[in-house]
Amino acid sequence: MNEVLLKSVVPSIGNILKMFREKTRKNQGQVASKAGISISMLSQIERGVVSPSIDTLFCVCKAVGMDIAELFRRISPETPVRLMRTGQRLSTQHNGVLFEQLAASAHASYPAEMFMLEVKPGKRIGLSGSGHEGIEMGYALEGKAVLTVDGVEFEICRGDSVSFNSNLPHSLVNGGRKTFRAVWTALPPHKDYLES
């Protein structure tokens, strides 16, 4: 690998892995043990002192709950614009709920994601029963739903916008007769949204 590229990529890998480890509230000993490496090796990876093998990266990513593809996406050379055309977007539909990724940040240092959220009548989505890092924002396009954040209910109707601390437990229920549609943003992206 080119020495200049190595010097710029290796510290980035370490910073990202450290951020994900801290996000999961795991200490270095827990992650190193789960990844099958020494604490010293993990520390060196996080500080950008060593260039780990793909096998080691895979094991550390798994230990911190991060998909290795996400790691590579974050360290890839960035383009100033990322255009996502109709029919080429990531989407998943499960149990009356649709997520369609409308846009994802082109800048790895500022991870963000915007998606179309559709919840059929009578369906519920536990956006995160226990909460996760970051904030979320939404703008209701159609229908209505009840957003519960930390045990407090908020009715969201067409034209309403909402933002909340996603560290708090939250869920969304469509108790109406129409499909609830909203443009939703998660900062940083939360991997559960596009998993069925």
Query: Is residue 104 located within the same domain as residue 54?
Result: no
**CA separation, residue 48 to residues 137, 161, 181 (Å):** 34, 41, 43
The count of domains in the chain is: 2
135-182 pLDDT, tens digit per residue, is: 899 999 999 999 999 999 999 999 999 999 988 889 999 999 999 999
Residue that has been written with the tokens 């159609």 in this structure? 142
Quote the pLDDT of residue 43.
93
pTM greater than the 0.85 cutoff: no
Task: Output DSSP code: residue 88.
Answer: S
Buried b (16+ CB within 10 A) or exposed e, 75-92: eeeeeeeeeeeeeeeeee
Query: Is residue 131 located within the same domain as residue 172?
Result: yes
Give me the residues paired with residue 153 across strands. 148
Give the pair of three-digit tokens for residue 15.
């910073």
Would you say residue 80 lies in a domain? no
Distance CA 46, CA 40 (A): 10
Instruction: Say if CB 129 and CB 110 are below 8 A apart.
Output: no
The CATH number linked to 19 is 1.10.260.40
What is the extent of the structural domain holding 132?
91-194
Query: Is residue 7 located within the same domain as residue 37?
Result: yes
Would you say residue 95 lies in a domain? yes
Quote the pLDDT of residue 75.
79
3-state helix, strand, coil in the chain (%, to 5): 30, 30, 40
Give me the residues paired with residue 155 across strands. 146
Query: Is residue 109 located within the same domain as residue 180?
Result: yes
Distance CA 128, CA 135 (A): 12
14-57 pLDDT, tens digit per residue, is: 888 998 888 888 899 999 999 999 999 999 999 988 889 999 99
